[in-house]
Amino acid sequence: MTTLTKIALGMMGALRPKPATGDSATSISLPQPAVQGGLPLMEALALRHSAREFAPEALPMALLSNLLWAAYGINRAGGGRTAPSALNAQEIDVFVALPSGAYRYDAVANRLDLVAASDLRSVTGYQDFVDEAPLDLVYVADHARMGLIPVAQRESYASAAAGAIAQNVYLFAAGNGLATVIRAWIDRAAIADALGLTHDQQVLLSQTVGYPRTAA
């Protein structure tokens, strides 16, 4: 779908998911993430960049598991995560839009839980590449978990936490030959509707990930 079509549909409140392709499994157990090795941090930083041309090939499950762990996995005893959050509220949920459905990443169970049995990649942003890339992440703040944070600060704190997750994904992508771009130009109402979010849940950002498209 072109960007113009998406903008028009968005203005009409009609930017909707497509039917899922493949098996919309209720839950997907992720392989144990490989949490050692990888590119040295300084080399990953030297390679970090935004890219907007993606090949359609799906990421293997092991790579997806590693990516999600890098993004926001549990990295220590006590349930600490790979990205910070104010007062350790851990208010961000990472949703994963795949052709087979939209899933919520459960970092504790290392599992993806189905939230919508439809392909809502195209709903995750106005730019056309989001439709065909194999994976779009959506970062959602759950305000119900931020009870100790003053109301006026919640959105900015959650946005900072989502930004840290996004940078984790950038660095993982840099170290694993993947392309990625964080995106704020999104139709938040359409995404919230497609994911079936509650009033406590706020869509903050989306991020596309995939193999870079190479010239034919």
Closer residue to ligand FMN in complex, CB, 21/50: 50
Nearest Cα to 163, choosing from 205, 106, 208, 103?
Answer: 205
Judged by CB under 6 A, the residue of 52, 111, 188, 213 near ligand FMN is 52
Q: Residue 61, interface with ligand FMN (CB under 6 A)?
A: no
Q: Residue 46, interface with ligand FMN (CB under 6 A)?
A: no
Closer residue to ligand FMN in complex, CB, 111/188: 188
Euclidean distance between CA atoms 114 and 13, whole angstroms: 24
Closer residue to ligand FMN in complex, CB, 27/153: 153
Contact yes or no for 130/53 (Cβ under 8 A) = no
Instruction: Give the tokens for residue 58.
Output: 């799906």
Closer residue to ligand FMN in complex, CB, 115/166: 166
Q: Residue 182, interface with ligand FMN (CB under 6 A)?
A: yes
Q: Residue 183, interface with ligand FMN (CB under 6 A)?
A: yes
Q: Residue 111, interface with ligand FMN (CB under 6 A)?
A: no
Closer residue to ligand FMN in complex, CB, 100/207: 207
Q: Residue 6, interface with ligand FMN (CB under 6 A)?
A: no
Judged by CB under 6 A, the residue of 49, 61, 144, 189 near ligand FMN is 49
Judged by CB under 6 A, the residue of 181, 190, 204, 209 near ligand FMN is 181
The DSSP result for the chain, as a single string, is --HHHHHHHHHTT---PEEP-S---SEEEPPPP--S--S-HHHHHHH------B--PPPPHHHHHHHHHHHH-B-STTS-BSS--GGG---EEEEEEETTEEEEEETTTTEEEEEESEE-GGGG-SSTHHHHSSEEEEEEEEGGG-TTS-HHHHHHHHHHHHHHHHHHHHHHHHHTT-EEEEE--S-HHHHHHHHT--TTEEEEEEEEEEPBP---
Closer residue to ligand FMN in complex, CB, 82/127: 127
CB of 184 to ligand FMN, least distance (A): 4
Q: Residue 156, interface with ligand FMN (CB under 6 A)?
A: no
The interface region with ligand FMN, picked from 23-31, 65-73, 83-91, 183-191 by CB under 6 A, is 183-191
Site for ligand FMN, rule CB under 6 A: 49-50, 52, 127, 181-185
